[in-house]
Amino acid sequence: MTDPELRLTQMISKLRTLDFRITPQRLAVLKILAHSTGHPTIEWIYEEVRRDFPTVSLATIYKTATLLKGLGEVVELETRDGRHRFDGNKPYPHPHVICTQCKQILDFEDASLETLIREVSAKTGYEISDHQLDFFGLCPQCRKEIDPSDTLEQ
């Protein structure tokens, strides 16, 4: 996990540099995205921001998230649950392990991906700029709940 305060500072600097305004609503969204490792949805961010700004609109959350995504300060993931999720703490592509039951999302480190990207590029002639690697399955918790005899071996 990147230091959330550092990420927040980086995001604010980026906005300032490009002459975007730091409004209270934006700041609230930035804070949430910089701190969260849980890959929040728009709806979740909205609910959080509403605690401090009861009149904030979903549109503002969408616009802010889209802005940050465009600036590369946030990455968007597609998790097959019909809604977009964001990661502002590690704003670069990285593998996820997603529980199909409880929707928990884990980050996963893997060094071999860089090699693979070069291989893809060489074989296809594509200029690869982004990627997405997600694993789907049951987390240990949900495995137990579905089949109590599951020993979690293998």
Asked if 4 and 12 touch (Cβ cutoff 8 Å), the reply is no
> For the chain, what is the radius of gyration of the CA atoms?
18
Out of 9, 102, 120, 145, name the contact with a copy of itself by CB under 8 A: 120
Q: How far is the CB of 9 from DNA (least distance, A)?
A: 15
| Bridge partners, 86 (sequence order) | 76
Nearest residue (CB) to a copy of itself, 71 versus 117 = 117
The vertex-17 CA angle with 15 and 28, nearest 5°, equals: 20
| DSSP three-state, residue 125 | coil
66 binds DNA (CB under 7 A): yes
What is the DSSP-derived secondary structure letter of residue 87?
E
Could you write out the DSSP letters of every residue in 55-77? T--HHHHHHHHHHHHHTTSSEEE
Asked if 88 and 11 touch (Cβ cutoff 8 Å), the reply is yes
- How many amino acids of this chain bind DNA (CB under 7 A)? 24
Out of 6, 16, 132, 145, name the contact with a copy of itself by CB under 8 A: 132
23 binds DNA (CB under 7 A): yes
Nearest residue (CB) to a copy of itself, 27 versus 67 = 67
- Of residues 72-101, those binding DNA (CB under 7 A): 82-84
Q: How far is the CB of 122 from a copy of itself (least distance, A)?
A: 8
6 binds a copy of itself (CB under 8 A): no
C-alpha span between 31 and 54 (Å, rounded): 17
Out of 92, 130, 149, 151, name the contact with a copy of itself by CB under 8 A: 130
Q: How far is the CB of 41 from a copy of itself (least distance, A)?
A: 15
For tokens 């949430």, the residue is 32
The residue ranges that bind DNA (CB under 7 A) are 20-26, 41-43, 53, 55-60, 62-64, 66, 82-84
